[in-house]
A and B are shown apart, each in its own frame.
Chain A
Amino acid sequence: MISFDTVFLTAIVAGLFGALTGLGGGTVMVPVLTYIGVDIKIAIAASMISIIATSCSSAAIYVRERIVNLKLGMYMEMFTIVGSLIGATLTLLSGSHILFIAFGGVLIASGIAVAFKERKRQEQTVLLKDAFTKALVITCSYEDRAEKRRVLYCPNRSKEGGPLMILAGVVSGLLGIGAGAFNVLIQDLVMGIPTKASTSTSNLIIGVTALAGSSVYLAAGLIDPTLAVPIILGVSVGAFAGTAILVRLTNKAVRRYFVVVVILIGLDMIRRGVF
């Protein structure tokens, strides 16, 4: 039996690593738990619950700062919860080797997405709204305290961006991760939301998305409190520490190093799924 201390310390490291890479604790938690002998489906279910905890803390902070686009988030949640239910159901139906391969693929894609996001030039969003987005009356600004200015932006193509969020929901429910990298990518590339607003809005969305997925795992009897309790605490501590470190981390190369490690873990997950 795996000890409390082992899972708790593993969860702290996963939370720290997840915060430093910007991928969230679950992305690292699930592979690491499988390395110490936890069944991948149990690991996914436990990780899913820890996402709710990290979402609550980070979303509350971002909401206080008024960076979260609440209306946009609530519109997109309609799609992510449906995706999460589909994803979690697929996990129950899938064999472990398929989950290993899927997880590996998603880790690699997430790592590339984060790397791509860092390279992407911060473009001034064109202040245009399509008719559908106008009808949604979505807010178009937030106060950037770091830059000491009000950032104006205008979400576009909500009609396309919303349904695409089903995919992010499927990935989240399937693998027990927040799928924040995919949320942000869709908001950035399809809807033209600035990174700060999309990242904070993603933090709000992943809580409800994880709740939908957790409900499937709870109904299947996959939630193990012996595992869930240290993971909830450990990931929360690790994510808090990671966020504090990240504020002081100016060298982007360090973050890129972590992304490379995530991609390597992804390759190893695929290897474990295949062989």
Chain B
Amino acid sequence: MKSPPWDLDMLVEVILLAGLILAISLIITSLVWQWILTGTFGVFPAIAAMNLLEYSIYTLRNATVEGMGPAALANSGIAVLLFTPFVRVLASVIFFGIREHNRIYTAFTGFVLVILGIVLFGL
């Protein structure tokens, strides 16, 4: 039997759930790891003022240079959570632009994407 074609509802549902599950998993793993190492929960270093792109690079650098630890994992979880609605908007732009050829909604979602791109990545 042929599976039904993907539509926007399915796309949005999968992106939101996948992002949330990944983020929560990273955060819970970071807490368990920290508890194993220190016997306490959830004291993480403060984050300096930065945009999401800088925050992601900072988290990746911490994980690769200093080695993955509970703080880097918790920061990764927060970053994934922040990226999730952005990815949903990006997917919507692609869906309306390429699949639906819907100029109105490509423009609407594109506007949201551009504003988010500016504030999140300093574009």
Binding site for B on A (CB under 8 A): 1, 4-5, 8, 49, 52-53, 55-57, 59-60, 63-64, 66, 68, 70-71, 74-75, 77-78, 81-82, 85, 135-137, 204, 207-208, 210-212, 214-216, 218-221, 223-226, 228-230, 232-233, 236
Contacts and interface: CB of A to CB of B under 8 A. Distances in A.
Nearest to A57: B20
B6 to A, nearest CB: 13
A22 B9 CA distance: 24
- Looking at chain A's contact residues, the main secondary structure is helix
A236 B24 contact: yes
A74 B105 contact: yes
A211 B82 contact: yes
Contact of A229 (B17, B19, B42, B92): B42
Interface of B: 8-9, 12-13, 16-17, 19-20, 23-24, 27-28, 30-31, 40-52, 55, 71, 74-75, 77-78, 81-82, 84-86, 88-89, 92, 104-105, 108-109, 111-112, 115-116, 119-120
Query: Counting chain B CB atoms within 10 Å of each CB, which of A70, A74, A232 scores highest?
Result: A74
A218 to B, nearest CB: 6
A224 B12 contact: no
A236 B20 CA distance: 10
Query: Counting chain A CB atoms within 10 Å of each CB, which of B41, B48, B85 scores highest?
Result: B85
B82 A49 contact: yes
A233 B85 CA distance: 18
Contacts of A233: 24, 27-28, 31
